[in-house]
Structure 1
Amino acid sequence: MSTITSLLDTDLYKLTMQAAVLQHFPAAQATFLFKNRTPSKQLNDDAIEWLKSEIAALGELRFTEDEIVFLQKHVGFLPAEYFEYLKTCQLDPAAQVKVTVNTEGHLEIEVNGPWKDTILYEIPLLALVSEAYFKFVDKDWSYDGQSELAATKAQELIAQGCAFSEFGTRRRRSLKTHDIVIAGILEGLKSAQGNGIFTGTSNVYLAKKYNLKPIGTVAHEWMMGVAAATGDYSTANLRAMELWIQTVGDANAGVALTDTFGTESFLLDFNKPLTDIYNGVRQDSGDPLEYTKLLGDHYKQLGYEPMSKVIVYSDSLDVEKCGKYKAAAAENGLKAAFGVGTFFTNDFKRLSDGQKSTPLNIVIKIQQLNGQSCIKLSDNLSKNMGDPETVERVKRELGYVEKGDVIDESKRWN
């Protein structure tokens, strides 16, 4: 039986973005590329063969009637046409996904095809690559204690008063790990003490299985794609927000992702009424404390009452960081929420010596839309990506200022 058995085994924002793509860019053709930021961790031949088989099996999946009903219950604000589209939506990995190994033995994955369909590949492909590595290459670990570990983390977050959700699909050690973690969180909540709250999971399949709320924001992919489609980076953030709101409606805009082309550039367009419509912002790169002060000041300048807006932290979190950032948010008049990912779904120790068994740091990003380069500047130099010529041109156009140190992404979880 294949590992991924449902197209819902993905993050919610891939589905809400798919609805936006279907509405606004139904004919767009996209290219996505895989990048392993931990190049010392590579798949062996057995892992590659297993991965190819699992990718091929994605072509057999369809959205079932009860899955569509579940989505309608939780994201029924999406256009009716989207739910009709899901009835016939299917992936074609044989034609759309190319898996190769280069001369240095490094895995390469390229995805090509209609954006409205290929948008669904990123999360399952990343999850499968991670599972392949820890199934065939690094086997110095076990599932022992994972449920208890997740329960303890959940209790600690609740005790700190944190509002948190689970965001760990893309870099999970395995689907089994993910399932154990969700069950462990729920078990831990039964005896948790504190005023924190578990708000749900980004994984729609597990949300459905455990009767949880699927949680989602928006990804850099949306802003990157809109910018490439329009060719106008000076208005890309504004246009992306406007199109997003057209698809989801004012009441469901959620939180804004600010760092695709640098947060300073984003804030030039992030004023009323957009700041009224969006509940807050998501911090995903750069210095979280500097970011918190920047956004706190921005909202104050716009006249918002303290604690009326939220900041969602989602960059390499753990319990200690959540507590630290929660305090910083409060100091700057912001409510804090947390999307905790790899810390939940890929936190293991080696059986051989008890040291940390580090996850893969892998990403799949949109590379081109209709032949135009897609880029990301971020608030972290190590997360910048895209065609170098386009990157430099957009930096000049936006007045993007590089700051901070380049982080060694290969050691992010060491």
Structure 2
Amino acid sequence: MIIKSILDTDLYKFTTSYAYIKLFPYAMGTFTFKDRDETEYPDAFVEALKEEVKAMSSLRLTTGEIRFMSGACRFLPPFYWEWLSSFHFDPEKIRIERDEQHHLHVEVSDFMYKVTLYEVPLLAIISELRNRFFGNVANMEQICSKLAEKVQLSDEHKLTFSEFGTRRRFSFNVQDAVISYLNENAHYCAGTSNCYFAMKYNMKPLGTHPHEWFMFHGAQFGYKHANYMALENWVNVYDGDLGTALSDTYTSDIFLSNISRKQAKLFDGVRCDSGDEFLFTDRLIARYRELGVDPTTKTIIFSNALDFDKALQIQDYCRGKIRCSFGIGTNLTNDTGYKPSNIVMKLARCKMNVNQPWKECVKLSDDLGKHMGSDQETEACLYELGLK
């Protein structure tokens, strides 16, 4: 059994789930899987995946887990954990199949506050099974040797980072070993996005909101208003907590033009998850100054497929201009000598209630090739935003 706890996921899945409960309790959505490498999966892979999904259905939140999360996440009310203690993954909600080209297709549909919880565990399962089926074996001695070098670089240069590697980890055991080492040795590791390991190693769980929050708002309220309304609604739920704004759902150009002075002052900073980090830094600083906000009081969290050498270059560039931190995922939990899986699950469609028609969801990106959505809806989105 690969997923051993409902907490074996990223914190922002719970914060987003609660935001849906509070503001959009009847909204429904569908998440779809995409393998950007177009991997050909063997016949037995689908059956193994279905067995893992079936095993997930037995997971329940424990009293100890509720106690830890209630103490670590004051911004989530007790009733949310009470509700989550009754939640279970439902295999009937998950459609898994393989097409004629042996490409994997996975789709999950449910109320938004529930369906969002499936994304990270499913990706973690697929990533680990993929390694098993293709005969990839982790060399723990090699992993620890590389990890020691990364931690030494972080300590020497006071480079603050968080572990963000659940969804594309090599395996549960590799992530466990990595976080254990970080907890004992990395002086500038701020925490982990994985709530299970945060509890196991008494670390701080970290995270705010995902692209899906903005994609939902774009589909329901229009792409021009998506960034502004998504941030306003986040403030309505969390009243200033969890104050890192995701900047690239509809390109950083659109985000920077949409962000208001109130939002720029209220949010602690932004997360940069695609594009040229150095260019984005310059443009964000300029926007803060334009809005009368001191950029040295704000923070950029960089999280776009980083390694520690790249993070150090970015830190040097930001010094004296703006604060920075780093969310590092695959380079920590899947740096094994094998090519990591390039897989995602994104919100494909949503509706406000069962009586409304489905609306397609789109995610643009500052990186070429990372747009998500049908060609027709992506074109419509680009046109509405004046990007085409």
Q: How does the TM-score come out when normalised to structure 2?
A: 0.94
1:318 equivalenced with 2:307 (yes/no) = yes
Partner of 2:29: 30
Deviation at 1:43, TM superposition (A): 2.8
| In structure 2, C-alpha distance between the alignment counterparts of 1:138 and 1:236, rounded to whole Å | 43
Q: Where in structure 1 do 4 or more consecutive aligned residues deviate above 4 Å?
A: none
2:202 to 211, 235, 239: 211
Identity of aligned residues (%): 38
Matches within 5 A, 1:179-328: 179-189=176-186, 197-230=188-221, 232-250=222-240, 252-328=241-317
Gap regions ≥5 residues in structure 1? 350-356, 402-414
Matches within 5 A, 1:324-403: 324-330=313-319, 333-349=321-337, 357-370=338-351, 371-400=358-387
Deviation at 1:70, TM superposition (A): 1.5
| In structure 2, C-alpha distance between the alignment counterparts of 1:305 and 1:299, rounded to whole Å | 7
Contact in 1 for aligned 2:264/2:293 (Cα 8 Å)? no
| In structure 2, C-alpha distance between the alignment counterparts of 1:99 and 1:314, rounded to whole Å | 29
The amino acid that maps onto 1:249 is D
Q: How does the TM-score come out when normalised to structure 1?
A: 0.89
| In structure 2, C-alpha distance between the alignment counterparts of 1:23 and 1:42, rounded to whole Å | 41
The amino acid that maps onto 1:235 is H
The amino acid that maps onto 2:309 is E
| In structure 2, C-alpha distance between the alignment counterparts of 1:175 and 1:341, rounded to whole Å | 13
Post-superposition CA distance 1:87-129 (Å, at most 9, x none): 3222212x11011010001111111111111111110111111
Matches within 5 A, 1:68-217: 68-93=66-91, 95-139=92-136, 141-189=138-186, 197-217=188-208
| In structure 2, C-alpha distance between the alignment counterparts of 1:132 and 1:265, rounded to whole Å | 38
Find the residue that maps to 1:235 and give its secondary structure: helix
Deviation at 1:346, TM superposition (A): 0.4
Contact in 1 for aligned 2:361/2:373 (Cα 8 Å)? yes
The amino acid that maps onto 2:214 is M
| In structure 2, C-alpha distance between the alignment counterparts of 1:397 and 1:212, rounded to whole Å | 43
| In structure 2, C-alpha distance between the alignment counterparts of 1:288 and 1:54, rounded to whole Å | 37
Partner of 2:355: none
Contact in 2 for aligned 1:42/1:133 (Cα 8 Å)? no
Contact in 2 for aligned 1:146/1:180 (Cα 8 Å)? no
The amino acid that maps onto 1:53 is E
| In structure 2, C-alpha distance between the alignment counterparts of 1:300 and 1:326, rounded to whole Å | 20
Deviation at 1:141, TM superposition (A): 4.4
The amino acid that maps onto 1:66 is G
Find the residue that maps to 1:146 and give its secondary structure: helix
Contact in 2 for aligned 1:150/1:188 (Cα 8 Å)? no
Deviation at 1:42, TM superposition (A): 3.2
Find the residue that maps to 2:151 and give its secondary structure: helix
| In structure 2, C-alpha distance between the alignment counterparts of 1:144 and 1:253, rounded to whole Å | 37
Return 27-36 or 140-149, whichever deviates more. 140-149
Matches within 5 A, 1:1-80: 2-39=1-38, 41-80=39-78
RMSD: 1.5
Deviation at 1:177, TM superposition (A): 0.4
Return 298-307 or 126-135, whichever deviates more. 298-307
Deviation at 1:233, TM superposition (A): 1.7
Gap regions ≥5 residues in structure 2? 352-357
| In structure 2, C-alpha distance between the alignment counterparts of 1:158 and 1:23, rounded to whole Å | 41
The amino acid that maps onto 1:115 is M
